[in-house]
Each structure stands twice: as structure tokens, then as C-alpha cells.
Amino acid sequence: MPRGPRFTFQNAFYHVFNRGINKQPIFLSEADYNFFLRKLLQLKDKYDHSIYAFCLMPNHFHISIQTRKIPISKIMSSLTTSYSMYFNKTFQHFGPVFQNRFKSILIENDSYFLKLSQYIYLNPVKAGLVSDPRDYLYSSFKEAIGMEAFKILDRDIVRLIGDSHNSRKEYEKFIYDGISKDFAEIDELFEKEEATIGSNKFNTLSKRKYLRRRKV
């Protein structure tokens, strides 16, 4: 049965996710993480989209992206295909690396982005890999809070979290405040191939547009 079109809008926010096939590790060495991040940066320049948060876990990844003209499916296909080719060549692996198509959450606005960025940056903490999100090497948390210069994150992130020292400290505190939170509701969103997060009106309108496109 053919898959339907994704929720696709220009200038849309997405939280995208994919994991290794059968939940197998997809990053086995520092070189693997670095290859993925280099490709992520190359595609950002090539396809003119913004990246506002990412976290690479041993067997999956989370990325927050705002698209412009290039659809999210093309961006993610380029990223995962390139990494799969690298992985298979490096480890003499045969067959798919990732589990099905990537999953995506269409995000309504900045406030929902902030909520999901909290989830992204606390992934390593919730998994027991680190106790402090600043200690995890393969996320953009340090870029976001000003501890490292912008490399992959778009500078426009200051519009979302603020550019002053105080605003970044407030954002940092917001992330840490999530350590005691239960993210089960967000986890459930990743059981679907795609979902929306926002107001009831936003969710309804997004699904109506999706259904119209399926009928075309």
C-alpha cells in the first residue's frame, strides 16, 4: 500500500526522529557521530533550512528543523541515505540501517518547539548516559546556551530563546526543570509515522490539508 504524503508546509517546524533497524546501534564510534554531523551541516547549507536542536543517541537521533522551499522528506532522505552508505561501507554491513521512514512531528509555534527541545536535550539524561545534559558530546545543548559558538544551529535560534545572558540562563534552567518530568505523552507521538503538536485548531487544519493532498 503506497504511503501518503507527509504534512508539508513551507517555513514549517518539524521534530524528526529515526532509529536503527530493530533498535540496533547506528553510531559505533566517534567517527560515526562526526560523519553524521558533517552531513547535517552540509545539507543545511545545500537546502537552506534551519536547525534549532539535535541530539544523536547510540541507536537513534532527534533533530528540530525549520524548512523553507525544500520539503522535509528530501532533506531527511539525503541525510539518512548518505549515512547508510557510510555505515554499510565502514562496517561491511548489508541491508537497511534505519527502521522504516523517519518519523516527524509538525510543530505549531515557538512554545511547542521549546517543549520538544527540552525533550531532545534530556534524552541522554533519561537514558542514563549522563546526569547533566551539558556533558553529552553529541547534542547542540552547549551551542543553544552559549557555551560553544554556533556551528550547526541556526543563529536565528536567538529569536526562540533570546540572545542575552539572562535569557539563555532562563532557557538553560527550563531544560534542567524537565529532568523530573514524565515525557510519556511525547514518547507516544513517535509511535506514529507523523504527528502534530499544537493547538486543536492547528492539529485539525494540518490533518485536513493532509487528507486533501491524499485525494489528489
Structurally, the chain folds into a number of domains equal to 1
In DSSP terms, which residues pair with 194 in a beta bridge? 104
Dump pLDDT digits (tens) for 9-34: 667 889 999 999 999 999 999 999 99
Q: Binning pLDDT at 50, 70 and 90, where does residue 212 land?
A: very low
208 falls within a domain: no
Dump pLDDT digits (tens) for 149-196: 989 999 888 888 888 888 899 999 999 999 999 998 888 887 776 767
CATH number for the domain spanning 178: value is 3.30.70.1290
Over range 79-94, report the average pLDDT: 96
Helix (H) or strand (E) holding 195: strand 194-197
Percent of the chain residues topping a pLDDT of 70: 85
Instruction: Give the range of the structural domain holding residue 151, as residue numbers without chain letter.
Output: 13-192
152 falls within a domain: yes
**Residue in this structure with the C-alpha cell 505549531, named with its chain if needed:** 108
Give CB contacts under 8 A, 24+ apart, made by 136-139: 136/55, 137/33, 138/27, 138/33, 138/37, 138/55, 138/56, 138/57, 139/53, 139/54, 139/55, 139/56
| pTM of the complete model | 0.86
202 falls within a domain: no
**pLDDT computed for residue 165 by the predictor:** 83
**pLDDT computed for residue 180 by the predictor:** 93
4 falls within a domain: no
